[in-house]
């Protein structure tokens, strides 16, 4: 392929513009030479049909945030209205959902330069604004429609005019949408593309002269008939009327709907409406088939879009994913794996739930009683929890702010269903229900979030952190540092039931801090590492099988052993010195509300803007979070820790190596002996282990060999401490006004290792999201993505755990240790696995590159089979 890479984007709407802007932005970091051209015959600066892309033009809050992250701010002259809320009209009732303050940036725009009747010289086209941004980024804009597309070797050949010179390009982006003839040309390329199923809607721009509440989007639901629902979208002097049906609609359906008495009176119009600007757009209700080919991608609603919602945001999603894929490879296999399959998982797969949800609404809204029940519940002062949950479900249904899958899960909550049934049973006896009230009489029910700000933390915000370990203290320090940089005051309250400085508590952690702990504390939190707490500098590891062992030296990376309670106390004191309030009290309950979180503790209660779970795997606190949030504790292994104090003479001669074991005991997955200043810390881990397993472990010959002589310690006097550590990600570990960190979220390296580092890092990442993105569940999606290096390691950790445990039980560890003594690559893999200095994903890649798995298998076949018994005996 000749360079520069020639890219053609056919379609200058949002999908094409978003692809262009994202590609230019990201290609600059790769050094790729390219030339990108956008083709579109529409003139968005014209009023009426010539410049219109036939869309209601609602920009969601999440889309505005994503545009802001791209450096795009919709000009005030382009914005027609800021949306104050949604009003659902059904069975003569109005259910009003006010816009929460965190989403006050929801706005409406004209895709073209307005309806035919618009007068004025200002350019108000949203699509033209995006194209101008592409032009500023030095993309070429060709204001012509593409007439012909044909294959040309690995690339494509385009023709814009008859008898005009054709254009050869290397990579083709189809972004023309459903409302064009372009897709017929794409089908003719014969690579298996089939457009998505679509319905024809009807849309009109009506002068805003009626009595509708301004700056609200009005939705009229019809449970029967050809029309499914209608939406009235405010745009300054106009209202965009959009009708979506169960089958294709036409102008007669629009006239019939607008002629209904209640609609006609609200709009203040008279028929006929033909002089008004109207159109019949196709809307996506399915997914295209095979929307990638070699050097070709289809994006936007010609590929897939959310069911009935957020077409512009779907365009951004597909465009961004296509850019990421194209930068990794432009062959069909890469584009399929990196774009088509992930896009289907995010949009079409979720649309199954969307279709199911709207069918349920069709059924519910057929009857007056359930509508009345919902309306009364929303205004209920007795059952605030249920009212808030129903409000949240309805808000995200109509704004598209959550995945349909998540909305259905919220509907299916047993607690919510019980509340709905209870409320329905009591409804006939409610004093405020007039049984003789005619159905046509309008009743209004208001539920809003005027002060329910889910945006970034601001001056005076309250943050409650449950748990004062490294993750909780790290989060507090990060929040206070960023607040100081922004010049605002945060109220950070840390609940920690333990009093570390009294030395009466024990942390069920070995206390080995791995690099780069010093850099994390210094660079991210402005905290000096407390060198005085170092009890021993670790020189490496000795990995033991049943009869073999190998020394794995740590070449100067600086792992240190500390007493965890002392280290935890140091970090907590640092947080307190910088303004955090430390409450030495256990949290007994939490209540999640839309405008706050209420935290109850043994010493009182607190109203906060959000709660941070940094409680490790404390079962009691975990169950408290599970009662009122989506949080569910992660899967875990049990661990048992004990200490042996053999005297300083023995400890001074012991050396600075951690002894690691993979024993052949079924219940124990691994064990270790870690030297501290004046004692050895012994720990084991496994499913359902108990003190008997620790006793059994201590009696193993390979373990007793590294322990002090029996005259220096008494096994009967050992104190055992039981704990847990996670082996998977917690379910629902964040949501509106709550997030969990470290072990509580399951955010630790598989096979343990670097637990303190992971706790602090997750605390820092969560704090960054709170300060810059927000405290909603959607905002914390960014936190999830920022911790992807941990999440992506989990499948590898699961495989490694199962593999090593099986090999230990089959006594296959010794041959591998023997092999590692002469094979440097195998030794490196063993060290990285034990020390946690490298991610398991990278270890796997290294192993694959050096064919280590193959070598180990051949070695085991040669040295561990029945024919090798004599060799094994001779080698012992």
The CATH number given to whatever domain includes residue 680 is: 3.30.9.100
Cβ-proximal residues to 464 (8 Å cutoff; 6+ apart), any chain: 493, 495, 597, 599, 606, 608, 610, 611, 612
The last residue of a domain, from among 724, 746, 771: 724
Would residue 94 count as lying in a domain? no
- The pLDDT assigned to 410 comes to 87
- Whether the upstream peptide bond of residue 501 has omega within 30° of 0, thus cis, is no
Q: Do 157 and 138 fall within a single domain?
A: yes
Q: How far apart are CA 767 and CA 132, in angstroms?
A: 36
At residue 270, the pLDDT reads 57
Which among 211, 204, 277 is positioned nearest to 46, based on CA atoms? 277
Does the residue 373 lie in any domain?
no
Q: Helix (H, G, I), strand (E, B), or coil: what is residue 153?
A: coil
Query: Which residues of the chain carry a pLDDT beneath 70?
Result: 1-3, 101-102, 117-121, 162-163, 209-212, 267-275, 379-384, 427-453, 500-508, 555-557, 750-753, 863-876
> Are residues 41 and 130 both part of a single domain?
yes
Based on the structure, what is the number of domains in the chain?
5
494 in a domain, yes or no? yes
- Rounded to two decimals, the pTM is 0.55
**Domain termination residue (choose one: 253, 280, 307):** 280
Residues 6+ apart with CB under 8 A from 359: none
The verdict on 644 and 627 lying in the same domain is no
Residue where one domain finishes, among candidates 349, 365, 399: 349
Indicate whether 478 and 329 sit together in one domain. no
- Residue for token digits 């050396």? 655
Same domain, 266 and 211: yes
* Domain of 751, in residue numbers: 462-511+563-635+727-791
* Cross-strand pairs, 172: 8, 296
Q: Does residue 438 belong to any structural domain of this protein?
A: no
Nearest Cα residue to 288 out of 198, 193, 201: 193
């Amino acid at each position: 392929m000749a360079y520069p890479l020639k890219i053609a984007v056919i379609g200058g709407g949002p999908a094409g513009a978003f692809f262009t802007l994202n590609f230019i932005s990201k290609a600059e970091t790769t050094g790729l030479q390219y030339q990108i051209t956008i083709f579109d015959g529409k003139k968005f600066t014209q009023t009426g049909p010539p410049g219109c892309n036939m869309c209601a033009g609602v920009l969601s809050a999440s889309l505005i945030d994503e545009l802001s992250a791209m450096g795009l701010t919709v000009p005030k002259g382009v914005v027609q209205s800021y949306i104050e809320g949604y009003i659902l009209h059904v069975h003569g009732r109005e259910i009003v959902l006010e816009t929460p303050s965190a989403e006050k940036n929801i706005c409406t725009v004209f895709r073209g330069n307005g309806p035919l009747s618009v007068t004025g010289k200002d350019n108000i086209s949203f699509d033209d604004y995006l194209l101008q941004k592409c032009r500023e980024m030095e993309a070429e804009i060709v204001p012509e429609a593409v007439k012909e597309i044909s294959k040309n070797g690995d690339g494509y050949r385009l023709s814009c005019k008859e008898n005009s010179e054709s254009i050869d390009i290397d990579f083709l982006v189809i972004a023309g949408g459903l409302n064009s003839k372009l897709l017929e040309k794409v089908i003719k390329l014969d690579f298996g593309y089939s457009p998505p199923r679509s319905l024809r809607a009807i849309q009109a721009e009506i002068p805003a002269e009626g009595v509708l509440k301004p700056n609200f989007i009005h939705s009229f639901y019809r449970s029967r008939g050809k029309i499914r629902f209608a939406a009235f979208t405010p745009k300054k002097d106009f209202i965009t009327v959009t009708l979506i049906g169960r089958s294709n609609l036409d102008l007669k359906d629009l006239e019939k709907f607008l002629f209904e008495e209640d609609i006609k009176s609200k709009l203040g119009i008279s028929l006929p409406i033909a002089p008004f600007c109207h159109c019949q757009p196709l809307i996506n209700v399915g997914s295209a088939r095979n929307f990638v080919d070699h050097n070709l991608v289809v994006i936007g609603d010609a590929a897939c879009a959310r069911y009935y919602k957020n077409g512009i945001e779907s365009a951004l999603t597909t465009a961004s994913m296509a850019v990421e894929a194209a930068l990794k490879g432009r062959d069909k296999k890469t584009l399929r794996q990196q774009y088509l399959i992930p896009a289907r998982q995010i949009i079409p797969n979720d649309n199954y739930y969307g279709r199911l949800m709207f069918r349920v609404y069709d059924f519910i809204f057929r009857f007056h009683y359930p509508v009345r029940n919902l309306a009364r519940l929303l205004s209920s002062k007795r059952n605030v929890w249920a009212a808030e949950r129903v409000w949240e479900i309805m808000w995200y249904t109509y704004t598209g702010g959550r995945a349909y899958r998540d909305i259905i899960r919220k509907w299916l909550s047993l607690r919510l269903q019980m509340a709905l049934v209870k409320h329905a049973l009591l409804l006939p006896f409610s004093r405020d229900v007039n049984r003789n009230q005619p159905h046509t009489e309008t009743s209004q029910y208001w539920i809003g979030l005027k002060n329910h700000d889910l945006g970034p933390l601001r001056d005076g915000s309250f943050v409650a952190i449950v748990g004062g370990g490294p993750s909780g203290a790290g989060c507090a320090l990060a929040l206070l540092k960023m607040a100081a940089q922004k010049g605002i005051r945060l109220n950070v309250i840390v609940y920690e039931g333990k009093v570390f400085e009294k030395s009466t508590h024990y942390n069920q952690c070995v206390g080995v801090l791995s690099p780069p702990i010093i850099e994390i504390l210094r660079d991210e939190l402005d905290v000096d590492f407390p060198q005085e707490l170092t009890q021993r500098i670790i020189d490496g590891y000795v990995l033991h099988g049943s009869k073999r062992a190998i020394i794995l030296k740590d070449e100067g990376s600086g792992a240190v052993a500390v007493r965890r309670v002392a280290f935890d106390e140091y970090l907590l004191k640092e947080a307190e010195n910088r303004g955090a309030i430390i409450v030495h009290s256990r949290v007994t309950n939490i209540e999640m509300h839309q405008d706050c979180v209420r935290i109850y503790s043994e010493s009182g209660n607190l109203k906060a803007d959000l709660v941070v779970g940094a409680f490790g795997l404390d079962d009691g606190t975990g169950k408290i979070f599970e009662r009122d949030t989506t949080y569910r504790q992660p899967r875990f292994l049990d661990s048992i820790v004990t200490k042996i104090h053999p005297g300083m003479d023995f400890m001074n001669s012991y050396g600075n190596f951690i002894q690691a074991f993979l024993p052949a005991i079924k219940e124990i997955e691994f064990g270790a002996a870690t030297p501290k200043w004046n004692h050895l810390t012994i720990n084991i881990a496994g499913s359902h282990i108990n003190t008997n397993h620790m006793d059994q472990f201590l009696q193993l010959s390979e373990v007793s060999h590294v322990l002090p002589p029996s005259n220096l310690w008494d096994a009967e006097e050992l104190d055992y401490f039981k704990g847990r550590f996670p082996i998977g990600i917690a379910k629902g570990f964040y949501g509106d006004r709550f997030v969990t960190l470290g072990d509580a979220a399951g955010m630790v390296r598989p096979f343990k290792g670097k637990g303190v580092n992971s706790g602090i890092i997750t605390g820092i990442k969560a704090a960054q999201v709170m300060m810059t993105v927000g405290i909603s569940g959607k905002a914390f999606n960014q936190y999830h993505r920022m911790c992807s290096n941990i999440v992506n390691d989990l499948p590898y950790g699961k495989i490694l755990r199962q593999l090593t445990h099986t090999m230990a039980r089959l006594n296959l560890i010794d041959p591998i240790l023997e092999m590692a003594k002469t094979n440097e690559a195998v030794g490196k893999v063993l060290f990285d696995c034990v020390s946690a200095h490298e991610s398991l994903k990278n270890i796997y890649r290294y192993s694959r590159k050096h064919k280590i798995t193959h070598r180990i298998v051949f070695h085991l076949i040669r040295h561990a089979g029945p024919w090798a018994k004599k060799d094994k005996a001779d080698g012992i």
